[in-house]
Each structure stands twice: as C-alpha cells, then as structure tokens.
Amino acid sequence: MAALGGRGRAAAALLRRGPGTAAGPGAAPRRHRHKEKWASTAPRIASTRLALHHFDTSYSLRLGALWPSVRAGLLCEQKYGALLNNFAAADHVPQELEPLNAADFVSEASQKAQQWQRGAAVGAVARGCQEGSGEGRTVMQAEMMAQAEMMAQAEMSPPLGASISSKIKCYTFPRGDITRFRPARPDSLGLLDYYLMDAASLLPVLALNVQPGDFVLDLCAAPGGKTLALLQTGFCGHLAANDISISRTKRLYQILHSYVPREVRDTVSVTSYDGRDWDQVKGGTFHKGAGAGSVLLQVLVDVPCTTDRHSATEEDNNIFHKRRTKERQMLPMLQLQLLMAGILAAKPGAEVVYSTCSLSPLQNECVVERALDIAEAQFNISIHVEDLSHFRTLFQETFSFFSDCRLGELVLPHLTANFGPMYFCKLRRM
Ligand SMILES: C[S@@+](CC[C@H](N)C(=O)[O-])C[C@H]1O[C@@H](n2cnc3c(N)ncnc32)[C@H](O)[C@@H]1O
C-alpha cells in the first residue's frame, strides 16, 4: 500500500470499508464498526472452476469440436489399468480377469505388430517373385531380392515389434466398460499382484524401449508408477529414481517395498535432488558407470504439470489455486529446465522420453521445441525426434489419440476410453 498514490490510497480505503461502511455523518460509532478484511471475505472461486475456465478458453481453441467430449471425460471417473506385477506370484490374475473381458493391451499390441511385420514380409516376398520373373531373373536372384526387401522392411519398422516390451502386462476393460478392478492382493511373500494406474501412463515407458542392461534415469519419479513399470521390463541394469519431494519419495519407497523383491530393489537408487541440477550432482558418477560397456543411459522426464484431470475435479492440492498462480505460470520454464537436464544426462545415442499429463501445448510441444533449439544452439547437441505415430495404430482400441500433435503423441480422455491426458515425445541424442 505504501507505493499507492492519492487515488490508489482512496480506492484501497474504499475497498477496505466496503460500500455499506462509508465513513460520514451517519456512520456507526467507531466501537461498533467491525473491520472487514476484504481479501479473506471476498467469495473464493473454487480452483476447479478456475481450471475449467482456463481449459475452456485454451483447449477449445486447440481441440475444436473434440473439446466437449474431452471435457466430459475429464470430469467423469477415470479408467484404470492393472499393471501385472511380474515379481509376485500373480498367475491367478489373468485367469480372474480374462473371463471378465479384461485384456492385456500391451500383449495385444505386440501381437498386432508381429502380424504386420509378417504381412510386410510376405508382401515383400511376393513383390520380389514378381520382379524376378518379369525380368527373367533366376530363382536364386529372386530369393535374394526378397530377403533384402524383407530386411529393408524390418529396418523401416523396428519400432513396431521392438518398442513394445512384451514383459510389461497391463489389463484394461474394453472400451465403454467401466468395471472397476478389485484392490491389489499380496502373495505369500507379501508382494502385491498388480498396480492400478492410468493405463496411458504406460505409454511413455513403452516408448522408452529399455533394452537389457540399460542404465535408466527416472528424473521425476515419485510416487513411482512409471518406475515400477520400468522395473517390470526386467531390463534395467540400474535404475536411478529421483524426485525433489522427500514426502513423495517416501511413497516411492512404499511402492518398491510392496511390489519389488529385495534383490531387484538393490538395483534401484532413490534420490531427492532437484532434477535440474542432475548433471552437477550425479552426472559424473552415472557417465562413469554407463560408459564402461555398451549400456546406455535412457532417461524418462515425467515432469510436474497442470495435471489437468486432477485440476478439473479436486480442490485439494490444486495448482489453479490463486495462491499458486506464479508456480503455475512458471511450469513451462521448470519443465524446460528438467528436460534439458535429461538431455544432458543422456549419452549420445541414448533416448529421452518427455511426458506430461496435460493437454496444454505450452507444456508439451512448445517445451520440446524450445529444448531442441537450446540443445543445438548452446550445447551443440543435435537431437532427433522419433516418430511414434505407430503407437496410435497399435493402441487405438484402448486409447483415444489426438491426431494433430506437431511433435509427440497425446492421449485424449474420452467417455468410452477414459484414460489420460498423457503427452509423450521421444528424443534421441545423436
Ligand atoms: C508427474 S509427477 C511424476 C509422476 C511419476 N513419474 C509417476 O509415474 O508416478 C512429477 C514429479 O516431479 C517432481 N518434481 C517437481 N519439481 C522437480 C524437480 N525440480 N526435480 C525433480 N523432481 C521434481 C514432483 O515432486 C512430482 O513428484
């Protein structure tokens, strides 16, 4: 208030008094007046309402005619997937879920990919034979041509089969079926049989495509759903799970204890650094370990974001609360810094997957685009954005995808498949 001019002071005084308390000849005696603190008595707009207003303005422009359906999805109960715990005795789970029409969408996609590849190979053989006979080539030449073409096909489409880790199994109910899963149960050693999560959260993990022995960094790991999924691949040589929040890392420890046996937990290091400083605090150690053999440091950067579904439905811990306006406005900057830290942590050839659970292009594509520019201009690092469009085809029965992302892929909530939002983009450091 000290900085206000005369007019400002008068207006502030009016605001403090309120219209019914103007001092004047008929005003109440001083002792009967009660002081109004206008900031605390002004009607507080619910954070969920602020969030929805914000989404209506920005997402209707972005999604056009799709927005009403996405909005309805955001406001209705979300669907879950049951990530099977490979470390527990969980053979009973498929027997229990399959009669209820639940299916493992990862294995289904993997089978689909294999069928396509077989189809492509058969097509290649057929074409090779036609060309061979047309030009009077020998059978041997025709066979060699067909083989070469098959190999070229396989090279063109390695992401199809290869990127779908068949070890990850996640059950979902079919489109339009909103049956709920029972809570997870412990086996005889106390390990829980499955982990309930938004099934779309698995897509960034599948996109990362961890290979046997890889060093993996999960830069913003808590509460740990994706960390657990990364471990289910059985491929992590070492997994560094970091999260700045100590209270949330406690939850991550709980998940590791409830799902993962000790010998596998020993391959995981949990830290609570500011991920933006990863290179300074941990980079050296990691490069030493990761540089020894052919192992790569793969990085998952699952950043804090406006968590659109939560913001539209829950008052508690809502980032659209007036008090958190600055924090919300600074999110894209924090996301960019975290993504840059992930890129700098990755060795050449390694992959970085960036993900959010927001529909906002400012937090999604714009952050990735800016990171590509900075990596090139300031660090001389060139980055290839990997094409993940085959995810749309492979997983179209389970998720609703947005078909218009400039970079990366986006799962849209929809009443018949109410997962997401989930944005993910895969980068390869060259
Ligand atoms: C979207 S959540 C991660 C969810 C997690 N990957 C999972 O699948 O369960 C984002 C996380 O980023 C963490 N975070 C926020 N700022 C961070 C920073 N500067 N460094 C590291 N982690 C940060 C938050 O504490 C939060 O747990």
Tell me if 144 sits within 8 A of 203, measured CB to CB: no
Tell me if 339 sits within 8 A of 352, measured CB to CB: yes
Residue 182 maps to a domain: no
Residue 377 maps to a domain: yes
Q: Determine the average pLDDT of the residues in 376-403.
A: 96
Q: Are residues 210 and 131 in the same domain?
A: no
Regarding the beta carbon of 159 and ligand 1, being less than 6 Å apart is answered no
Comparing 34-43, 338-347, 391-400, the range with the smallest average pLDDT is 34-43
Q: Determine the average pLDDT of the residues in 258-279.
A: 96
Rounded to whole angstroms, how far apart are CA atoms 352 and 174? 31
Residue 359 maps to a domain: yes
Regarding the beta carbon of 221 and ligand 1, being less than 6 Å apart is answered yes
Q: Are residues 407 and 262 in the same domain?
A: yes
Q: Are residues 125 and 239 in the same domain?
A: no
Instruction: Please enumerate, as own/partner, the contacts of 397-405 that have beta carbons within 8 Å and a separation of 24 or more.
Output: 397/105, 397/108, 397/175, 398/105, 398/172, 398/175, 398/199, 399/199, 399/200, 399/203, 402/63, 402/66, 405/364, 405/365
Nearest to 303 by CA among 327, 274, 334, 328: 334
| pLDDT surpassing 60 at residue 6 | no
Amino acid 78: pLDDT: 97
Regarding the beta carbon of 245 and ligand 1, being less than 6 Å apart is answered yes
Task: State the distance from the centre of ligand 1 to the C-alpha of 335, rounded, in angstroms.
Answer: 10
Active site residue 405: no
| pLDDT surpassing 80 at residue 191 | yes
Regarding the beta carbon of 204 and ligand 1, being less than 6 Å apart is answered no
Tokens matching residue 318:
């809502």
Q: Are residues 205 and 328 in the same domain?
A: yes
H helical segments located in 135-217: 139-156, 158-162, 202-208
Mutate to test the pocket of ligand 1, among 206, 220, 270, 336 (most ligand atoms within 8 A of CB): 220
Tokens matching residue 357:
């659970």
Q: Are residues 351 and 208 in the same domain?
A: yes
Tokens matching residue 226:
């994706």
Amino acid 47: pLDDT: 97
Rounded to whole angstroms, how far apart are CA atoms 394 and 244? 34
Mutate to test the pocket of ligand 1, among 201, 244, 338, 424 (most ligand atoms within 8 A of CB): 244
Comparing 63-72, 149-158, 421-430, the range with the smallest average pLDDT is 149-158
Rounded to whole angstroms, how far apart are CA atoms 421 and 414? 9
Comparing 83-97, 277-291, 338-352, the range with the smallest average pLDDT is 277-291
Tokens matching residue 144:
């060699």
Residue 420 maps to a domain: yes
CB count in 10 Å sphere of residue 422: 25
Residues in the annotated binding site for S-adenosyl-L-methionine: 220-226, 243, 274, 302
Residues in the annotated binding site: 220-226, 243, 274, 302
**Exposure string (b/e) for 355-373, b if CB count within 10 Å is 16 or more?**
bbbbbbbebbbbbbbbbbe
CATH number at residue 333: 3.40.50.150
Residue 179 maps to a domain: no
What proportion of the chain, given as a percentage, has pLDDT over 90? Answer: 72
Q: Chain-wide mean pLDDT for the chain?
A: 84
Q: How far is it between the farthest Cα atoms of the chain?
A: 113
Rounded to whole angstroms, how far apart are CA atoms 365 and 82? 29
Rounded to whole angstroms, how far apart are CA atoms 24 and 274? 57
Banded pLDDT at 17 (limits 50, 70, 90): very low
Regarding the beta carbon of 225 and ligand 1, being less than 6 Å apart is answered yes
Banded pLDDT at 123 (limits 50, 70, 90): low
Residue 155 maps to a domain: yes
Amino acid 121: pLDDT: 63
| pLDDT surpassing 80 at residue 420 | yes
Residue 93 maps to a domain: no
Q: Are residues 291 and 411 in the same domain?
A: yes
Structural domain count of the chain: 2
Residue 40 maps to a domain: no
Question: Which residue's C-alpha comes closest to atom 15 of ligand 1?
Answer: 304
Banded pLDDT at 181 (limits 50, 70, 90): very high
**Exposure string (b/e) for 36-71, b if CB count within 10 Å is 16 or more?**
eeeeeeeeeeebbebbbebbeeebeebbeebbebbb
**Which DSSP symbol is given to 321?**
S
Catalytic member of 170, 236, 305, 357: 357
Amino acid 59: pLDDT: 98
What proportion of the chain, given as a percentage, has pLDDT over 70? Answer: 76
Amino acid 141: pLDDT: 54
**Exposure string (b/e) for 202-222, b if CB count within 10 Å is 16 or more?**
bbbbbbbbbbeebbbbbbbbb
Q: Are residues 246 and 368 in the same domain?
A: yes
Compute the half-sphere exposure of residue 195: CA atoms within 13 Å on the CB side of its CA. Answer: 31
Q: Are residues 306 and 360 in the same domain?
A: yes
CA angle 367, 408, 279 (to 5 degrees): 50
Task: State the distance from the centre of ligand 1 to the C-alpha of 136, rounded, in angstroms.
Answer: 63
Rounded to whole angstroms, how far apart are CA atoms 351 and 384? 9
Regarding the beta carbon of 224 and ligand 1, being less than 6 Å apart is answered yes
| pLDDT surpassing 50 at residue 80 | yes
Q: Are residues 73 and 130 in the same domain?
A: no
Amino acid 122: pLDDT: 66
**Predicted confidence (pLDDT) per residue in 135-162, tens digit:** 444 444 555 554 554 444 444 445 555 6
Task: Please indicate whether residue 371 or residue 10 has the higher confidence score (pLDDT).
Answer: 371
Tokens matching residue 215:
């060093």
| pLDDT surpassing 50 at residue 102 | yes
Question: Which residue's C-alpha comes closest to atom 19 of ligand 1?
Answer: 274
Rounded to whole angstroms, how far apart are CA atoms 247 and 242? 12
Banded pLDDT at 359 (limits 50, 70, 90): very high
Banded pLDDT at 112 (limits 50, 70, 90): confident
Q: Are residues 276 and 366 in the same domain?
A: yes
Task: State the distance from the centre of ligand 1 to the C-alpha of 426, rounded, in angstroms.
Answer: 18
Comparing 104-118, 135-149, 256-270, 394-408, the range with the smallest average pLDDT is 135-149
Task: Please indicate whether residue 22 or residue 172 has the higher confidence score (pLDDT).
Answer: 172
**Predicted confidence (pLDDT) per residue in 398-408, tens digit:** 999 999 999 99
**Predicted confidence (pLDDT) per residue in 276-308, tens digit:** 999 888 765 565 445 444 456 899 999 999 999
Regarding the beta carbon of 342 and ligand 1, being less than 6 Å apart is answered no
Q: Are residues 153 and 279 in the same domain?
A: no
Amino acid 156: pLDDT: 42
Q: Are residues 375 and 248 in the same domain?
A: yes
Amino acid 21: pLDDT: 33
Tell me if 409 sits within 8 A of 391, measured CB to CB: yes
The boundaries of the domain holding residue 156 are 108-162
Amino acid 145: pLDDT: 54
